[in-house]
Structure 1
């Protein structure tokens, strides 16, 4: 065993010296290889971290959201629905929500107006998200005006700004009291945007949703798991767009592997011929070249993956954020928690390292089994 280890050490030492003799070529190859790994790993790390963040944020969401549909469009829920829902067995908690969208022509962005259930806001005051405050340049105590769809101008005082750590979901959020919300959007008392329900037994969520659909045929129950699947589909779709744009990088990698598999340079053939002439057998040559391809591909993978990790979790994925975040104007600022998926790393490793390492062995084997004199003569 010790003899085998010592032999591998000598082979690695010789391989490093061989790589150093072709420094410029190998450094260029390492740079291109690392950039390809960096691009692919950045997309995978960022989308996976966004999925995890969305799952954590939606973990506390209600199990069912009930929306009323009129002519296929979302409409206000009239009075009486909450009382009828209370008669259903298994419903632990029910609550009517008030929320809506507002287009601000000042910054050409959409805001989400919502009644604050966990805050006691005085009339004429509101709480805004950090993204909105940054875009409009406002701070607590400042006044801000919005013109309602009825044409009436409303002026509010900013009571507070939502914490930056919640900016992933609150960048465009505006919280205000119920009376102000109803006056701004002209919504009559007793009407709600939708109703949220919490279920006593999680296994009965689908049964209760089925009962809601039967009792309220003009409504649509939306399950939390369906929302999670929707987010996952959106992130997968955006990830696919970026990977499609990375086709050129993937094509470059394919050309690189093909060039390596198609043959050897004259210097490499001469080197193999000399090694065979001084007593190296075919197995030694293959092991030496295997170490050469393995060290180059592993170095590129580690460098590319480390750069992608720093890019995503320390520099907020600045190169990919405009595509994968999805906001049009109010881009939130947030730091994703480092999340690494073992299967994802293994898949990326398999599709970037193994093809190149395997491609290096084909021409090496052809040269290694040839006559040394013929190899050196080309």
Structure 2
């Protein structure tokens, strides 16, 4: 029996060197194994083709729905309520095979369902969450705008005007994942009367809401981002998220989903590392596998150190989230650290493969490209360091 079998890790990926999966209950480990099996069996063989064509594999959605992972951490109506740690590891497992599919689920099950779970009334949660958990309705999250990204809290320009029992929305959104095919889009807009940011659930057929799919991306090409144009879109008061009264509500959603992105970063790094490790055992040079070369082993171990360190930090962040103790600065530290370590790791994986590292057939090139998007969204490294810096110094460096 090998050492990994002694630890009960024979079914775990080689990137889980210290056995973090052992922190999960048996039930949660079984779920993680089911996700891993589905991604390996159904997604990995086809994802390069979809990535090349910048299309989304809609036929895989029913299989993902059967896994029961949408809104995994939430305890709202119809939601699994399994906790943040297993939710994070599932996001990591998805990204280990394809960061685009992890992003798709992060937008739907994290941002969209999270907005309704955290900011919706009991009636709204009952109305939308069960169908979203079954993935009968797919959600999107409309916050970022063409002219403002990191400064969205102060610069959000999309407007909302109350008109009787309806709200009239006008504005533009950009980089909205899933928007090209979503059934529900959570739109964040500034109330013209009190100047506060409020959330609205807009159904896909709403008159005045149109979409332009964003083309020619070099990262997360499977994710269907779109620009949203809102021209006098009327939304009933019943679709205004009743507990969202300021940008603080938006920040509450982003805090927990930022942890999800930190886990996606670890998954992206793990995927690149595992493909590189397999490659070094198969690739022969000078009559022996390159895995036997000192410089190659050095790169592999540096990748593993990054993956392991980022996983450890994320585990603690998710434990704090499960305990109700996760603060903005905790999530920001995890996201900043994980994405920096990811960027290094995928670069080293590309280096190990040499020229083959840019060929999709070896997968590593896809992880290198996708890492660039994960590095920037849900708060750039700079923004996250300023959030942590404010927490440790007591001084705000935001302009």
- Say which one has the larger Rg: 1
**TM-score of the aligned structures, taking structure 1 as reference length:** 0.25
Query: Which structure has the higher relative contact order (CA within 8 Å, separation 6+)?
Result: 1
